[in-house]
Amino acid sequence: MSLSRLSFLYPPIFLKRLRLPSPTFPGLVTLSLPRSSQKSLAFLRYRHGTAVEPIPIADAPKKDIKSNRESPDQTRPKDGSISIPRLAGEGTEAPIISIDDSTVPTKPRAGGKPVEVNGSQPQPAHLAPPPLVHHFDTYGLAKGLESSGFTKGQAVTVMKGVRGLLSNNLEVARENLVSKSNVENDSYLFHAACSELRNGIQNERKTQIDQLRVEGASIQQEFDLLNQRFLEEIMSLKDELNGLFNDRKMVTRAEQRAMENKIQELNYKITILINSDVRSEIEKLRWTTTRRGLIAIGALAVFVVAFIKFSKREHSEKK
């Protein structure tokens, strides 16, 4: 549900300085105090000099300014309202922010008795109730209207009308706004739930972290075992491979030696066969050459003998 904007509860946010359009209502100034300054102003008494007196109207009769210089205890109305004066700049009158006790509901205590606003009985600082902030001064408004030229009946009627408007606005605010106690209770419950949720999340996170650490340790242990087993298997495979390589080397060496022996045998056989053939051929050639030489020598000897006989025959014939 969208809430209506209740600008009458916080006029300083929208209006920097509220001034009346006509000088006939000098006492009607609605301002709200911030929460930080309410407690400090409740225990302070400000006194104002002639510099903050209202500017007199030319047509209005002059009033005695002694009534404005009275102390706050003397000017306090009899109906029990509390006025909190504030300093105002630019030569204007300090607005008095107050409200009637009849329009403010009293908050009962734990014992059932309402809170009594009485300054004669001092209370400890930690047990003192919060000061009442009155947003409307009926007596000051009526007196201001009377001093501006209105009759007493007109001033009272205008004051009652303004008070009725303020009461209606306060009722609208009470209906539309949430009380501070409910907000504080909800915020307390929300913060408590947030703290519980935070604690639960932190505990759950811690348990999950512990579980993850345990799982990580177990996984690391399993990994170490598997790594050790893997290294052992690798070493055994390496030894087996080295043995296989050595066996293969020995086999290849034996085969190489056998091949070398076979090659040597073949070389021997080849050399023996070649040598025997060559020798036989050489012997054949030798016998043929010697036979041919003998034949040639014999033929030469026959030719020589024949030549000698022929030469002797010719020599004998010449003789």
Q: Which residue has the higher pLDDT, 80 or 233?
A: 233
DSSP character at residue 51: G
Reply yes or no on whether the pLDDT at 273 is more than 70.
Answer: yes
Task: Please report which confidence band the pLDDT of residue 291 belongs to, taking 50, 70 and 90 as the band edges.
Answer: confident
Identify the weakest region by mean pLDDT among 55-64, 182-191, 211-220: 55-64
Q: At what angle do helices 152-176 and 138-148 cross, to 10 degrees?
A: 140
CB 46 within 8 A of CB 88: no
Short-list 68, 51, 6, 69, CA closest to 32: 6
pLDDT of 157 higher than 80 = yes
8 Å CB contact between 99 and 136: yes
User: Mean pLDDT, to the nearest integer, of 286-294?
Assistant: 88
pLDDT at position 218, please?
A: 94
Q: Residue 128 has what pLDDT?
A: 66
Which span out of 30-44, 162-176, 256-270 was modeled with the highest average pLDDT? 256-270
Whether 213 has a pLDDT exceeding 60, the answer reads yes
With contact defined as beta carbons under 8 Å apart, do 24 and 148 qualify? yes
Q: What is the pLDDT of residue 269?
A: 87
State residue 121's pLDDT score: 59
- The owner of tokens 């087993």 is 229
d(CA 308, CA 22): 196
pLDDT of residue 114: 45
Which has more confidence, 139 or 66? 139
Question: Looking at the predicted structure, is the pLDDT value of residue 285 above 60?
Answer: yes
Rounded Cα distance, 237 and 157, in Å: 113
Q: What is the pLDDT of residue 318?
A: 79
Q: What is the mean pLDDT of residues 21-46?
A: 42
Residue 189 C-alpha from the chain's centroid: 27
Mean pLDDT, the chain, rounded, equals 71
- In DSSP terms, 148 is beta-bridged to none
> Nearest Cα to 161, choosing from 176, 142, 148, 178?
142
Answer yes or no: is pLDDT of 190 > 80.
Answer: yes
Average pLDDT over residues 186-190: 92
Read off the pLDDT of residues 81-138 as tens digits, 9 standing for 90 and up.
434 333 333 333 334 434 444 444 444 444 444 444 444 556 566 566 666 666 678 8
The band of 250, judged by pLDDT with boundaries at 50, 70 and 90, is: very high
Percentage of residues of the chain with pLDDT beyond 90: 25
| Mean pLDDT of the region 154-174 | 87
CA dist 282 and 290 (Å) reads 12
- The pLDDT score that the predictor gives to residue 44 is 41
Question: Which of 112-121, 153-162, 206-215 shows the lowest per-residue confidence on average (mean pLDDT)?
Answer: 112-121
**pLDDT band for position 8 (cuts 50, 70, 90):** low
Q: How far apart are CA 105 and CA 114, in angstroms?
A: 10
Host H or E run for residue 273: helix 180-318
